[in-house]
Structure 1
Amino acid sequence: MQSTSTEPASIDSPRRYSARLWIAAIAIGVAGLCYSSWTLEHLWAGGLDPMRTFLSELDAAGRPHRQVYVAGDIITAVAAMVAMLVLSLPTPAVRGYRSLIAIIAFGCFGAATLADALMPIECIPGVDADCPWEPSGIFPQLHHVHALTSSVAVISLFTAIIAASLASFAGDRWRLLRVAGTTIFGVIVVSTAWMLIADNLTGDYRLGLAQRIQVGAMSVWMLVWAVAVVRERRSP
């Protein structure tokens, strides 16, 4: 009697693949929502000036409500790393190197954001008395190991956005990113250029506002990516 063939263990069934997409999409969506925890600054009285202060100052050591922002960053980090693991292990739910780069970079963003939350700046120049830093140079409030973790987080997320966008144009996946994602990425690029250029000019150019637009757009992009992931349909 001829034995009945079974599906190879290395390939997900359609139901299992769909479940993985849902889990990944939820994780990415949670990361996007919690990455915008800084918007809660408008709920507290007597906070920092959002037009001129950086988000890293919200969770500086000793700041009121800092635990709220730290919790938001930690949840963002864990959700991003969960999304990476779900999409890449044990059987990669990816097609092409661009998708793989996007997923790995998103996991790196999560790891760097976790380090960001665990290693905040100690004080804020011009706000906290006896702050040992001199307010000079590029982004003086970030002259700390926090500067490295923040830079790695932003660069990793930039890489994930670019790679995911390229994947959406190169193949039939994450198609929502082709228009909506690219438009949001344009906002991110403009706000980032605003920060980098204005920081080297004299005068008040609302760098705090620029960073909030940048990070807010990143959060929205993650939410769009989450929708694009859950809408993906493919027979494994």
Structure 2
Amino acid sequence: MSLPRPALSGPASARPDGAARATAVLLVLGALTYSAWVLEAVVRTGLDPVRSYVSELMATDQPHGDLFRASDLTAGLLVLAAALTALWSGRRARPGRLVRAGWAALALFGAGTAADSRLPLSCTPTADPACAAREDAGLVPFTHTAHAVSSSIAMAAAIAAMLLLTYAARRHGVWRPLARFGPALVAVELAATVWTLASVAAFEAGRDTWALGAGQRLQVLLVAVWLVLLAVSVVTQVRQRRERP
């Protein structure tokens, strides 16, 4: 007589298929809208993508600021909804503290990204010396400081989610695409984050931008790619569970 198969303690072991698919769809849509900054390749922004902050695309004095603010708001709400759906559907699965913390971090990332869109810069400090001077003198709206805080929280939460959920995938032997490719994405994301932070410090010290824009765009692109990888992994886990005898 065969023994009953033990219940997985992994992240997707008992999640209803419908909720898992909804989570995956929301993650993909969130990744796509989070990548709306690539439209700067086809619309005239007047900003140098190698030097400028991604957030400067959303500045209130920019011609397409409304578009980029709307896309960031949508992306944040979609990722927040995905994370909350995963937490809700897994409430009876006992997925483990790491997984719950990972989804919670992803929810915080979504909320922080949505908040970013409501706290736009008023001008573009990397492209406008007068704007940079006003920032240094504290003569810009409070949204500049608030945006810096919300952006930092959002990115820190994204990195935390990437670390926690990728580690959980490898530890529990589930979400196989994430377990396989996630570590490399996380490693490059951490390198891009170091690049971005060093560039911000250089810019604030008056030492040019050190290709700040390129580093930050790589950083946010990798987050979007990881979200798609997580979505694929969630769907893959559903299929594997249904095929299990």
Of 110-119 and 142-151, deviating more is 142-151
Match in the other structure for 1:205:
210
- The amino acid that maps onto 2:59 is A
Match in the other structure for 2:6:
none
Match in the other structure for 2:23:
24
Match in the other structure for 1:104:
104
TM-superposition CA deviations, 1:16-42 (whole Å, max 9, x none) = 811110000001111111111100011
When residues 124 and 89 of structure 1 are mapped into structure 2, their CA distance, relative to the original with a 3 A threshold, is: same
User: How do residues 115-134 of structure 1 correspond to structure 2 at under 5 angstroms?
Assistant: 115-125=115-125, 127-128=127-128, 131=131, 132-134=134-136
Shift of 1:89: 1.8
When residues 195 and 114 of structure 1 are mapped into structure 2, their CA distance, relative to the original with a 3 A threshold, is: same
Match in the other structure for 2:66:
67
Partner Cα distance (2:174, 2:153) in 1: 27
3-state DSSP class of the match of 1:99?
helix
Q: Is the 8 A contact 1:125 1:135 kept in 2?
A: no
- The amino acid that maps onto 2:135 is W
Q: Is the 8 A contact 2:29 2:75 kept in 1?
A: yes
When residues 24 and 95 of structure 1 are mapped into structure 2, their CA distance, relative to the original with a 3 A threshold, is: same
Of 200-209 and 64-73, deviating more is 200-209
User: How do residues 221-232 of structure 1 correspond to structure 2 at under 5 angstroms?
Assistant: 221-232=226-237
- Structure-1-length-normalised TM-score: 0.83
When residues 66 and 21 of structure 1 are mapped into structure 2, their CA distance, relative to the original with a 3 A threshold, is: same
Return 5+ residue gaps in structure 1 as ranges. 1-13, 137-141
Partner Cα distance (2:178, 2:15) in 1: 24
Of 63-72 and 119-128, deviating more is 119-128
Shift of 1:51: 0.7
Of 94-103 and 110-119, deviating more is 94-103
Of 79-88 and 210-219, deviating more is 79-88
Match in the other structure for 1:148:
149
Return 5+ residue gaps in structure 2 as ranges. 1-12
Q: Is the 8 A contact 2:102 2:162 kept in 1?
A: yes
1:218 is the counterpart of 2:219:
no
TM-superposition CA deviations, 1:28-73 (whole Å, max 9, x none) = 1111111111000111235200010000100011211112111211
Partner Cα distance (1:197, 1:214) in 2: 13
Q: Is the 8 A contact 1:31 1:75 kept in 2?
A: yes
Whichever structure has more helix as a proportion of its residues is: 2
Partner Cα distance (1:200, 1:119) in 2: 22
Partner Cα distance (1:226, 1:151) in 2: 24
Shift of 1:108: 0.7
3-state DSSP class of the match of 1:205?
coil
Q: Percent identity?
A: 30
Q: Is the 8 A contact 1:98 1:164 kept in 2?
A: yes
- The amino acid that maps onto 1:227 is V
Shift of 1:135: 8.7
User: How do residues 170-185 of structure 1 correspond to structure 2 at under 5 angstroms?
Assistant: 170-185=171-186
Q: Is the 8 A contact 1:168 1:178 kept in 2?
A: yes
Partner Cα distance (1:94, 1:188) in 2: 29
User: How do residues 17-96 of structure 1 correspond to structure 2 at under 5 angstroms?
Assistant: 17-45=16-44, 47-89=46-88, 92=91, 95-96=95-96
3-state DSSP class of the match of 1:144?
helix
3-state DSSP class of the match of 1:133?
helix
- The amino acid that maps onto 2:179 is R
Paired residue total: 217
Q: Is the 8 A contact 1:87 1:94 kept in 2?
A: no
When residues 83 and 58 of structure 1 are mapped into structure 2, their CA distance, relative to the original with a 3 A threshold, is: same
